[in-house]
Structures are given as C-alpha cells and as structure tokens.
A and B are shown apart, each in its own frame.
Chain A
Amino acid sequence: MTEQSPNGNGRALLEVKDLKKYFRVGREALKAVDGISVEIKKGETLGLVGESGCGKTTVGRVLVRLYEPSGGEIFYNGDDITKVKGQDTKRLHRKMQMIFQDPQASLNPRMVIGDSIAEGIDIHGLARDKRERLERVHELLETVGLNKEHANRYPHEFSGGQRQRIGVARALAVDPEFIVADEPVSALDVSIQAQVINLMRRLQEERSLTYLFISHDLSVVKYISDRIGVMYLGQLVEMADSDELYENPLHPYTRALLSAVPVPDPDYETERERTVLQGDLPSPVNPPSGCRFRTRCPQAVEAAAHVEPEWREIKPGHWIQACPCFA
C-alpha cells in the first residue's frame, strides 16, 4: 500500500499465507476456507464481508486458533503460530481475543459478570490479589460504559447492548493486541449498534488495537474498517481500502453485493440500478471449478470454468481475484 490508511502504521501484525480450513462431512471435505492470503497491519481494522457460508467466521476462528488450520501459514509478529504448542499457546491467546455475535450465548448464565470478565485475568495470572482483580474488573466495566456495581449481577439482568459491552470488557481483560469481532453488532437494535460501534472505535484509538471485523452488514463494515476483504465460497475475491472498494468495486460479486444493500435513503433507492444475483450459493463441498462465482456471475464466460483465477494486486492496495471474464 502506498497511501497510508488513517489507522495502521504499515507494519504487518498478522500475515496469512494460503490459509485453508476443511471440515469433514461424511466422506467429503467441506472447504470452508480455501486458500486465503492477507496481511493485517498493526492498528488497522480489516473488515471481512460475505454471505453466510462464505467462510468469514472460520477465518476469524482459525486466526485466534479456535480451529486448527488444514493448511497454510499464519505469522503473528513474524512467528508462525500454526506450529505453536503448550505454554506458548497460552501466551498467544493473551494477545488475541474474540468478541462473539450473540452476547447472550457467550456469557455463562450462572456466573456473575464480574467473574466472567475476570476469567482471563485468572487464567493468565494478571492480578496479584483479590483486590487488584476487583479493581481491574471495575476499571474494565467503566471503560466499556457500565458501572462497577454491575459486577455482581448475572447476564440475564442486562439488555443486549449491555451484554455486548460485557463481551468487549471480557476481551479487553487480558490486554490483547488483536481482536477478532465476529458480527459483534448484528444481534443489536440499530440505536444500540451505534453505541457499541463507537465504543469499539474509541477503544481502538486509546489502546491501539488491531481488529478483524467480520460482518454481513456492508454499511457497518464500511464505517468501521480501514480495509475490506470480500469473501465468496472460502476465497477472497477482492480487497481494497474501504472507500476504494465502495467507489470502485471491480469484481462482479463485490458489485452485486454492494448493489443489493438497501440504503436508508428513498431517493437513492429509486434511482439506483440493482444487479440482482440469480440463484443461491453453491455447496462448499463441491465448489464450481475455476472461478467459483461463475455459476451466478452476470458476465461469466466459458473460460472461467477452466482457469483458476489468480489473486493479484491490480493497483496499489487493491487486490482482486482476476478471472478471465473481466481481466
């Protein structure tokens, strides 16, 4: 990238090379992630968008090592973390945290939230005694906009937005560098969404966090991300700075995806032209040969079935899966 994004100092915190994750389904392999290469720079937010089943969640989970990758390499600060074992895994987990979609399901209903938040502190031995542990919990609660009195309450006593704040506090408890946020605001009402998004942005600035922000909501992703990657059937089809991607989308899938998003502006909605994609997502067990998007692509040519499209940078910072249909 030649131009500096507002966040991110250009140094790669995470470097992913040809990452693959297959799941076994009976005798076959479901190729959830099938060869992704990407760099995440320190202090930036990389957004990952795509339809359900495109593998975006799997990418996030492999990166924080909730899943073992089936192939490829992940370098974190220069070290290949796919080979890390034992005590080193624990140290790694302290640096990488995750925020989940459903704040209800990600909190233990029988634990007061103070203890939920402190779990990471306990595991990593970050507090010398009970008083320090409590102080840290209180501090975290206040950081995310809750009161310290809330520490003794149970998850059901909170609203969805508050629970997601608790999820954020939990992730922050171990002072991580990198956070994977998997659909963190999708379950929230719009008025509450904005609260959580603003909170995440503020925390990023204060603590120079690096985010991988996974969402199907393209407006939210554009708002929070410096760069965005678009996924389709386990592969990246396009990646660029957010503004560039929205103003100058090149891949037909990105175009279709952007044109499908309903914009809350009636005049814009009546004027715009829509590319409505035909059909559904093909099965990731048996993805189409060649370009995976060709079965739904409005401009597919025959050659697309035989040529494996190449992932290349067509202008500085703008990557695309170059398929014969438009290359």
Chain B
Amino acid sequence: MAAAMNGDNNLQVKDLQISFTTYAGEVQAVRGVSFDLRRGETLAIVGESGSGKTVTAKSLMRLLPEANTLIKGGEAIFEGQDLLKLSEQRMQKIRGSKIAMVFQDPMTSLDPTMRVGKQIAESLKKHLGLSGQRAKERAVELLTLVGIPNPEDRVKQYPHQFSGGMRQRVVIAIALACDPQILIADEPTTALDVTIQAQILELLRELQEQLGMSVILITHDLGVVAHTAHRVAVMYAGKVVETGTLREIFYNPQMPYTWGLLASIPLPTADRSQELIPIPGSPPDMLDPPKGCPFTARCPYSMRICADEMPEYTTFSREHKAACWLHHPMAPNVEPPVRVGGAR
C-alpha cells in the first residue's frame, strides 16, 4: 500500500464533461469529473447505475459511440498527451497496449468463433510485432500467469469451452498481453459467483503487485472496494462527490450520499434486528440534472442552498475531499448516522 501512495501520477483527468444526444434531448452523463491515477495504485470508482462511472472509463479508452457522444470539455493527460484529442491512429497504439480494459461480461468480450490462443496473440502481433510462433508461446505464458491449468491445450479451445470464471481469466490475459501501464476493470466480477469472484480479485491483486500497473476499478460493490482499492472516488449523477483513501471513505465519510451508501448495505456482521437505512427516492434524471447538488432531493440534511448551487470541494486531508454544503462554516452541525464509522 505504501508503494502505491508515493508514486507519481500516471493519468490526470480534469473536469471531464460528456453528454449524449438522444431523441429526448441531451443526457449529461458526466459533469465535470476530475481525478488522478497514481502509479501502482488501485483507484475504485463507485456509484449507482447511471452515475457516469462506465462512461468516464470508456471515454479514456475512446470507446464511446462517436455518432452521439459530445465531449463537452476537460482533458485526460497520459504521458503528456490528452487522450481525448488524439487521432484515432495514435489512440490505437495506446488502446489495448498501454491502457487495457476488462469488461463485466466475459462472454461478450470474447469472439465465440475464434480460438482463445488466437485472440490473445492478436494484440501481441499487432502491438508488439511478435512473430506467429513467438505470439503463440507468449499466449501460453499469459494463460499460465492468470492461472489457467493445461494452457497448452486450452489455447486451442473456443470460449464456450471455458466456464465463466475461466473466461474472465482469458479476458484478463488478453488485457495484460502488452504489459499495460493502466488496467481499467469495469465491474470485472459482477457476473461471477462469490467463490469465483474471490479467485479473480485475488488474481488481479497479485498481478498488480507483480506487474506494477495502475488499476481503475469500477464497481457498485463496496465489499469489492474494501478488498481491493487503495483510493476511492464516489460518483453520483455525473459528479465525483467524495474522494479519499480507502480508510477515509469507509471510516470517516463526509458526505450524506456516502453515508447513505454505507448505511444501506447489510453487513454479515451486523445485528439483524436493526433496520437498514435506505436512501429514499431515486437518482435524478440526467436529461435535466438539478443545478445544485444532485443529491439534494434524497438528502435528509438538505438546506435551501443545496438545490440552488453546487458546493465547492472541502478538503479534509491530502487525499480526502467532499462536495457538500454541510461543511460550510455557516451550516448546522450534523452527526452522520450511527452505523457509519462504527461498521463493526
């Protein structure tokens, strides 16, 4: 963990703004997201569906559909260049090689008609210029690295001959093929069973230590976050509402949405007679997002100013900041719900 903290930045995202044009109007999916990714760390981006976490990740890989995506502003600096402004040709040199991505559903990210070995060798030949024979050998090495037994036989098989967990290992092998500096994992274990999830999370953690890459982990599962991440960014309605180290977010959260998230999940260690504290209502419509803090309508502590103006970030430590009016000097003093911080 210490190694993860002192590294310099690998990626800097500043004020990212992305909208989609639809028949109904402009959906403002990401509204000013900024974060840094340090070398060798795992940054978890958490939030509910529709909070903009996947859109943020896909925009870094330039995987959003060009026809209806509007990049309205911001930059993503990687190796001194802005990923959002690169030509498609130059982006192809980075995508899948220096920055790789693992998606939620391993079945849809593999080609069902192509042998697994060939799918891994593809990027080796394209990005690293390996010969066919050498690429095949490397494919076997990669399958060994991700813990697939009998790799020599397995490279000749098709995806349907693999189980879900094994398929996700193949997808990870493909992502790791070119030794990426950044791995973006979008809900990598959501489609898997817990025992398989444990295997994949363990694998990702080992690989990260071994290969020293930075990981952006996108997930809605706070358990997975607690297990894997060094730092956390909490997203809500297209904005990062709180960010901090793992411990800061779990034990000293400073924003009612983060409180709500933590209080609404049942802990296996918790007392069953205690009611869960749900977050009332549902997230705002991103066709017409509120101009103030987007959480206002669901927030039990909301004040008049919350609906009118988006709060600035308040900084609590080197890493920890949150956007909430409760931290304004004139705001009333509010105690977070009991369970937060005293999770055990």
A contact set with B: CB distance below 8 Å: 6, 51-52, 159, 161-162, 189-195, 197-198, 201, 216, 218-220, 222-223, 242-243, 246, 256-269, 274, 276-277, 280-281
Contacts and interface: CB of A to CB of B under 8 A. Distances in A.
Nearest to A274: B198
Given A264-B343, A268-B269, A274-B198, A191 B226 contact: no
A263 B199 contact: no
B174 to A, nearest CB: 20
Contacts, number: 137
A220 B262 CA distance: 14
A258 B227 contact: no
Nearest to B249: A266
Interface in B204-237: 220-227
Contacts of A242: 272
Contact of A222 (B222, B268, B273): B268
Contacts of A277: 195, 198-199
A195 B223 contact: no
Interface in B244-299: 246-247, 250-251, 260-262, 264-270, 272-273, 275-280, 282
Interface of B: 48-49, 163, 165-166, 193-199, 201-202, 220-227, 246-247, 250-251, 260-262, 264-270, 272-273, 275-280, 282, 343-344
A159 B267 CA distance: 25
B270 A265 contact: no
B243 to A, nearest CB: 15
Given A191-B260, A262-B226, A264-B262, A51 B268 contact: no
Contacts of B199: 276-277
Contacts of A222: 266, 268, 272
Contacts of A267: 247, 344
Given A222-B266, A261-B223, A274-B198, A52 B193 contact: yes
A218 B268 contact: yes
A172 B224 CA distance: 35
A159 B282 contact: yes
A194 B280 CA distance: 9
A243 B270 CA distance: 10
Contacts of A258: 268
A198 B278 CA distance: 8
9 contacts: A189-B220, A191-B261, A191-B279, A192-B282, A193-B264, A216-B194, A262-B197, A267-B247, A268-B343
Given A263-B226, A265-B343, A274-B198, 19 more contacts: A6-B273, A51-B193, A51-B194, A159-B282, A190-B264, A194-B278, A194-B279, A198-B276, A219-B266, A219-B268, A257-B195, A258-B268, A261-B223, A261-B268, A262-B227, A264-B343, A266-B247, A277-B198, A280-B166
A195 B275 CA distance: 10
Nearest to B225: A264
B250 A280 contact: no
Contacts of A6: 273
A168 to B, nearest CB: 15
